[in-house]
Structure 1
Amino acid sequence: MIEQIKKKYFAKEATIIYKVVSLRFPISEGQQPLASQKLISDMELVTKLLLLFTFIQAGKPQEEEPDHWLQLAETELETALKRTLNTNKAKNVILFIGDGMGVSTVTAARIYGGQLKGRHGEESVLEFEKFPNVGLSKTYLCDRQVADSAATATAMLTGVKTNWYNVGLTSKARMGQCQFPKESEIDTILQQSEKEGKSTGIVTTSRITHATPATAYAKVSHRYWETDTDQKKYGGAGCGQDIAQQLIYKNSDIDVIFGGGRRGFYPNTTRDPVTNSSYLRQDGINLIQEWKVMMEDSGQNYKYVENTEQLRSVDPATTDKVLGLFGSSNMAYELQRDKGPKGEPSLSEMTKKAIQILQKNSKGYFLLVEGARIDHGHHDSKAKVALSETLMLDDAVRVATEMTDDDTLMIVTADHSHVFNIAGYPKRGNDILGVVNPIPKAWFPEDDKAYTTLLYGNGPGGVTPDKPRQDPREVDTTADDYQQTSAIPLKSETHGGEDVAIYARGPWAHLIHGVHEQHYIYHVMSLASCVGTQKNKCSVLINNGQGQINVHYSNIKVVAFSILVLMAGYL
C-alpha cells in the first residue's frame, strides 16, 4: 500500500507523510493492516487512510499540478457566475467592526487560524472572507490623515465624516469643545432604527463607553469623557452629561447592551467585586440602579448580568432588555479570559444571546458588534493577542451567519488599520508568529540577528540605546505576551492610514463594490433597511416585500453566455 502511494505521490513526500502518520498510529513498513494480522480495527484503518489522504491532498505535489489551480479557479468562477443580487428590504442589519483590523491583520489572522488547525495557513479562509461582496474604505478624517476610532465610528454610524475624537458629532464640533453647535449632533443608524420600531443592540469587548460603542448613542466632543471623573481629567468638567450618563438617561430604549466598563456606572465609594478596584463616579450616582428603576417603571422584563453564568441564565423568550457589564474596564483578552461560569463570556456567546433576543421583533433589528481589543493588542505590539482577537471576531461572524437568513445585511469592516507588517521571505507554512526562515544572505540583518515575520513600524518594541534589539531566536516568539520589534520606539504603537476592507452579504450588499469613503457604509445600511437618510430612496427601490431576489440585466447576460458555453461543450 505504501509503495503504491509512493509511486502515485512522489516518494519523498509520501514517505514523510507515512512517517508522520505512523508516529500517531504505528504500523511497520512490512505489515499489511488490510490482511489477516488485524493489528488495528477497521475504524482505525479508515482514520489512518483519511489522515493520509488529507496530508497528501494538502501537500506540495498536488500544488505542483496545474489542474489543482485550475480546479480552484473553476470553483470560484462557478460561484461568481451563480451570484444574484438581493434587492429586498433588509429586515435586520448587523455591523461588525474589527477595531484596528487592517488588511495585514486579516491576512496574518487567516494564516494563524489555519496553522492552529494544522495547515500551512496561507490557503485558509476566514468566515467573513466568504462574503460575496468586498470593497475598500478610506478612513481619513476631516482634520487628520490617520484616524481614531471615535471619528471613524461616527462616519460609519451617521453617514458623515467628522473630526478627531468626536463622538456622534459633525465636523462643526471641535475636540473638547464644551458648547458645540446643536446642529452638529446627528442621529446614528441605531437611533434611527429605534424610531422605525426596530430592536437594537450593542456588543463589544471594550468598555461600553469606549469610542466605538459610545458613538452608537452618545454626543460628546471628546471620546474620553466616559464618566464625570474623566470629564474633569480631560477638560470637560461641567460640559453636560458624560457618556455613561447618556447611555442610561438618553438611550434606555437600547434592548441589548453587552461589554465591559462597570467602573463608569458606580460611585467611587464602592469597589468592583472581581478586581477589588474602586469604581470611578465622583457624583455618587449608581447608574445601574437608575437603569433598573427605569426598566421597572416602564414595565420591561429586564436583566442585569455581570458574568457568563448570569448571561446564560437570561431567557431570550421572556427578556425585553438586558444590560451586561462583564469587566470593570475593558473585557479580558481572549487569551487571558476566564472561561469559567464566573468569568467573562466570549464575543461569540454575547453575539448569539443578542441575536436571540433581538430577533423576536417582527420589524427587525440593528446590531453593532465590535471586536475591540484587536486594537489594544496592536497598540502593545503584541501580534498574537491581536490575531487571537481577530479570530474571536471571525467566530462571532460565523455564529451570526448561522443564525440569520437572506433578510439580514451583514457588513464586516475595520475602523482603521495599524502599522503592522508581514515581512521577509519565509517559506510556505512558516509559523506566522515565528522567525523568518530561511533568511537569504542578501537580506540577513546587518546586526546578525534574525527577525520575525510580523513587525511594527513603531511601538513599544522599538530599539533605544538602553534597549538593544533582541535576537528572536533566543526567545519564544509564540508566547502570548511576546512583543514584536518596532522600527520607531514609542510607548504605544499608532494607527495606520491605509484603506481597510469591507465585506458584505445580504440585501443590497452588492453596493459594496469598490473603493468607498468610510461614511458610505452608513448609507448602504440606511438604504437597505429603509431607515434614516436613505429611507425615501429605499421605498422606491425595494421589492415591495415580494421576497424575491432580482438578477440585474448584466448578470442575465453573464448567465446566458455561461449556458451557451456549456451547451457548446456537448455539441
Structure 2
Amino acid sequence: MKTIICTSLALALTGSVAFAQDALPQQNNAWFTAAQAELDAKAAVQPNTNKAKNVIILISDGNGVGTNYATRLFDGQQNGNFGDEHVLPHEKFPFLALAKTYNVNAQTPDSAGTGTAMHSGVKTKAGVIGVDETLNRGDCSQVEGATVANASEIYTGMGKSVGVVSTARLTHATPASAYAHSADRNFEDNSGLPDGCAVPDIASQLIEAVKAGRVDVALGGGRRHFLPKEVKGEEGKGGKRTDGKNLIEDAKAAGIQYVYDDGTFGAARFDGSAPVLGLFEASHMQYEADRSGEPSLAEMTEAAIKALQGNENGFFLTVEAGRVDHANHAGNLARVVRDGVAFAEAVARADELTDDSDTLIIVTADHEHAIAFSGYAGRGSDILGLSMKIDPAGTKALNEPNMAQDGKPYTTVTYLNGGGSILTEDQDWTGTRPTVSQEEATDLDYVQQALIPLSSETHSGEDVAIYAKGPFAHLIGGTVEQNYIFHVMHHAATAE
C-alpha cells in the first residue's frame, strides 16, 4: 500500500499525472477562479487604434512602485480590508509598462528632467526644463539653441486646448515642463535669474502661454512667484518678484479668470469661454490631510476637463499630484498615502468624465523615493504602523509586533535616508534606536525611522510603472525609456 501511494505521489510531482482543466483539485479555490476570470477578461481586450481626440497624463510625483504599494494598502485598509487585495483605479487599466527614469547626467533623476522627457519626448539633464542635454544648467545664453518643443506648443499646434493642474506650485518642475523653457528649474520668478539673462522666468512664461492661448486652464499653487515683494496675496504673504510686476493683475487685465480659493473656484466659468488661472497658495497647495478652503485634485481635474472638452479638436491635460513627493521627502508616510489616495480619486474622475474610444489616459510617476518595506509583516499589518507577526494558523496578522535584534519593534515602512535617521555623529545604532509604539507610528505627523541622516529624504532611481487605457494604449508595454511616454501620446493624437 505504501509503495502505491509513494508511486502516485512521485508521478504527480514529476507531471506524469494529467488533469483536465475542469478536474484540477484546486478548481474551486477562490484564488484560482479569480485568476481565471482575470485571464478571460484580459484575453478579451482588443487594441484601440482610434485617433485620440483627447490625451490626459496624470503624474503622481514620487509615486514609484513602492509608494504606490503603500497607497494601495492604506486605501484598502481604510475600507476595512487587509489592503493588499485592493485595486486602485489606475491598476485596473489594461496596459502596463515600466519606465527608466534616469536623467542623462543623473542615475537618480530630478523632476525637471523627467518632466521634460514626458512632455517633450527627449531625455535631458537634471534641473533643466524644456531644453535638451546640450545646455549647461543655469546658462541662459544656451536656452535658445537647446530649446525643444513642449506639450503646450505641440498640442496647441494641433488645434487642441491645453490644461495644466498640480497640487505643487505651477512654476515647479513637473508642471512647468509642460509649457516653459528654462536653464534652471529654480528660475520660478525673476529674483532668481542671473544678471543678463534674456529668458523670462517661469511664472512670466506661464502668463504669456495663457495669453497666447497655449494654456487654457492652469490650476495649482505658487502665487508668490506672480507677485512683487511689496504686494501681499490672499493669505497675507508677500510675493517674491523684484521687478515690480504683478502678473496676476496682468492676467486679469487680459481677460483671464483668476481664482484663489474654494469660493472663487466654485464661481468661475469652466466652460471654455475664458482662460482660468488658479493660484490657491503662496507656495504649494496643502496636503490632502490638511486641506481646507481649496479644491481637491479630483475637483481641479474635473473642472479642467469641463473647461477643455468644448474644443472640437480635443484637448491635452497634464495633472500632477505634487505633494506625494514632498511628504516622501519629509519621511511622513501618513501624508504620502493620503495624497496618493487623492491622486487615485483624480484618476477615477478623469476616467469617468471621458470616453475610452477617443481619450488616451496615461498614469505614471516621474521617479520613486528611498522607501523600504521591512519584513516579515503578517497580512493586515497597518501600513502606517508596526510590522506584526504572521499567524501560522490563520490569515490575519497576530497582534504582536516583530522585534529587531535590538529588542525593539519596527514599522512596516521605513526610509533608507532622511530626517528620521536613527544614526547621529556621536553614536552607533546598537541599542540607540528609538522605541516606537503603534499609536506613535500611526500618528499623522509621525516621521518614519530612516538609516542615513539627511535633512530631506531623496529620490531613488528604480523604474516606475506606466498604466494606460484608450487609443493606442497597447503601445505601453515592456521596459521603456521615460521619454517614450511622450511618443505614445503624440502617436495616438496624430494617427490617421
Aligned with residue 449 of structure 1, among 376, 387, 408: 408
Question: Which residue does 1:173 correspond to in 2?
Answer: 135
Q: Secondary structure at the match of 1:309?
A: helix
Alignment check: 8 A CA contact 2:417 2:451 kept: yes
Question: Which residue does 1:277 correspond to in 2?
Answer: 237
Aligned with residue 409 of structure 1, among 360, 369, 373: 360
| Residue identity matched to 2:189 | T
| Residue identity matched to 1:335 | A
Question: Which residue does 1:564 correspond to in 2?
Answer: none
Alignment check: 8 A CA contact 1:411 1:503 kept: yes
| Residue identity matched to 2:280 | F
Return the offset for 1:442. Answer: 13
- Kindly indicate whether residue 418 of structure 2 is the aligned counterpart of residue 459 of structure 1: yes
Instruction: Return the alpha-carbon distance in structure 1 between the equivalents of residues 274 and 43 of structure 2.
Output: 43
- Kindly indicate whether residue 196 of structure 2 is the aligned counterpart of residue 201 of structure 1: no
Q: Secondary structure at the match of 2:164?
A: strand
After TM superposition, list the pairs within 5 Å mapping 1:326-345 onto structure 2.
326-338=280-292, 343-345=293-295
Change (3 A) 1:155 1:481: same
Instruction: Return the alpha-carbon distance in structure 1 between the equivalents of residues 219 and 140 of structure 2.
Output: 29
After TM superposition, list the pairs within 5 Å mapping 1:108-127 onto structure 2.
108-127=70-89
| Residue identity matched to 1:160 | V
Question: Which residue does 1:419 correspond to in 2?
Answer: 370
Q: Secondary structure at the match of 2:98?
A: strand
Alignment check: 8 A CA contact 1:146 1:496 kept: yes
Return the offset for 1:75. Answer: 1.3
Structure 1, residues 186-239: CA drift from partner, whole Å, max 9, x if none?
Answer: 1112211111111000000000000001111111111011011233xxx56635
Q: Secondary structure at the match of 1:202?
A: strand
TM-score by length of 1: 0.77
Aligned with residue 241 of structure 1, among 200, 213, 216: 200
| Residue identity matched to 1:420 | I
Return the offset for 1:438. Answer: 1.8
Aligned with residue 512 of structure 1, among 472, 476, 481: 476
Question: Which residue does 1:325 correspond to in 2?
Answer: 279
| Residue identity matched to 1:438 | K
Alignment check: 8 A CA contact 1:144 1:163 kept: yes
Alignment check: 8 A CA contact 2:97 2:478 kept: yes
| Residue identity matched to 1:228 | N
Structure 1, residues 429-460: CA drift from partner, whole Å, max 9, x if none?
Answer: 11111101128999732221111001101010
Alignment check: 8 A CA contact 2:226 2:241 kept: yes
Instruction: Return the alpha-carbon distance in structure 1 between the equivalents of residues 258 and 278 of structure 2.
Output: 6
Alignment check: 8 A CA contact 1:217 1:251 kept: no
Question: Which residue does 1:156 correspond to in 2?
Answer: 118
Q: Secondary structure at the match of 1:219?
A: coil
Instruction: Return the alpha-carbon distance in structure 2 between the equivalents of residues 136 and 318 of structure 1.
Output: 35
| Residue identity matched to 1:259 | G
| Residue identity matched to 2:455 | K
| Residue identity matched to 1:374 | V
After TM superposition, list the pairs within 5 Å mapping 1:282-293 onto structure 2.
282-293=242-253
Change (3 A) 1:116 1:474: closer
Question: Which residue does 2:457 correspond to in 1?
Answer: 493
Structure 1, residues 312-367: CA drift from partner, whole Å, max 9, x if none?
Answer: 112333632111101110000000111xxxx1100000000000010000100000
In our comparison, the structure showing a higher alpha carbon Rg is: 1
| Residue identity matched to 2:404 | P
- Kindly indicate whether residue 99 of structure 2 is the aligned counterpart of residue 137 of structure 1: yes
- Kindly indicate whether residue 337 of structure 2 is the aligned counterpart of residue 382 of structure 1: no
Instruction: Return the alpha-carbon distance in structure 2 between the equivalents of residues 161 and 283 of structure 1.
Output: 33
Return the offset for 1:412. Answer: 0.3
Instruction: Return the alpha-carbon distance in structure 2 between the equivalents of residues 250 and 354 of structure 1.
Output: 16
Alignment check: 8 A CA contact 1:228 1:237 kept: no
Aligned with residue 444 of structure 2, among 462, 480, 483: 480
Q: Which 10-residue stretch deviates more, 110-119 or 276-285? A: 276-285
- Kindly indicate whether residue 24 of structure 2 is the aligned counterpart of residue 68 of structure 1: no
Instruction: Return the alpha-carbon distance in structure 2 between the equivalents of residues 470 and 66 of structure 1.
Output: 48
After TM superposition, list the pairs within 5 Å mapping 1:200-219 onto structure 2.
200-219=162-181
Alignment check: 8 A CA contact 1:178 1:236 kept: no
Alignment check: 8 A CA contact 2:401 2:409 kept: no
Instruction: Return the alpha-carbon distance in structure 2 between the equivalents of residues 316 and 218 of structure 1.
Output: 24
- Kindly indicate whether residue 68 of structure 2 is the aligned counterpart of residue 106 of structure 1: yes
Q: Secondary structure at the match of 1:95?
A: strand
Return the offset for 1:464. Answer: 3.1
Instruction: Return the alpha-carbon distance in structure 2 between the equivalents of residues 365 and 80 of structure 1.
Output: 29
- Kindly indicate whether residue 175 of structure 2 is the aligned counterpart of residue 221 of structure 1: no
Q: Secondary structure at the match of 2:138?
A: coil
State the number of aligned residues.
455
Aligned with residue 268 of structure 2, among 306, 311, 314: 314
Q: Which runs of at least 4 in structure 1 moved beyond 6 Å after TM superposition?
A: 439-443
Alignment check: 8 A CA contact 1:149 1:416 kept: yes
Q: Which 10-residue stretch deviates more, 351-360 or 186-195? A: 186-195
Alignment check: 8 A CA contact 2:288 2:339 kept: yes
Structure with greater helix share of residues: 1
Question: Which residue does 1:42 correspond to in 2?
Answer: none
Question: Which residue does 1:559 correspond to in 2?
Answer: none
Instruction: Return the alpha-carbon distance in structure 2 between the equivalents of residues 116 and 284 of structure 1.
Output: 48
Aligned with residue 229 of structure 2, among 268, 277, 296: 268
Return the offset for 1:167. Answer: 0.4
Return the offset for 1:407. Answer: 0.5
Instruction: Return the alpha-carbon distance in structure 2 between the equivalents of residues 65 and 326 of structure 1.
Output: 55
- Runs of 5+ in structure 2 lacking a partner? 1-25, 392-399
Question: Which residue does 2:322 correspond to in 1?
Answer: 372
Instruction: Return the alpha-carbon distance in structure 1 between the equivalents of residues 77 and 311 of structure 2.
Output: 40
Q: Which 10-residue stretch deviates more, 509-518 or 264-273? A: 264-273
Q: Secondary structure at the match of 1:93?
A: strand
Instruction: Return the alpha-carbon distance in structure 2 between the equivalents of residues 345 and 280 of structure 1.
Output: 24
Alignment check: 8 A CA contact 2:223 2:281 kept: yes
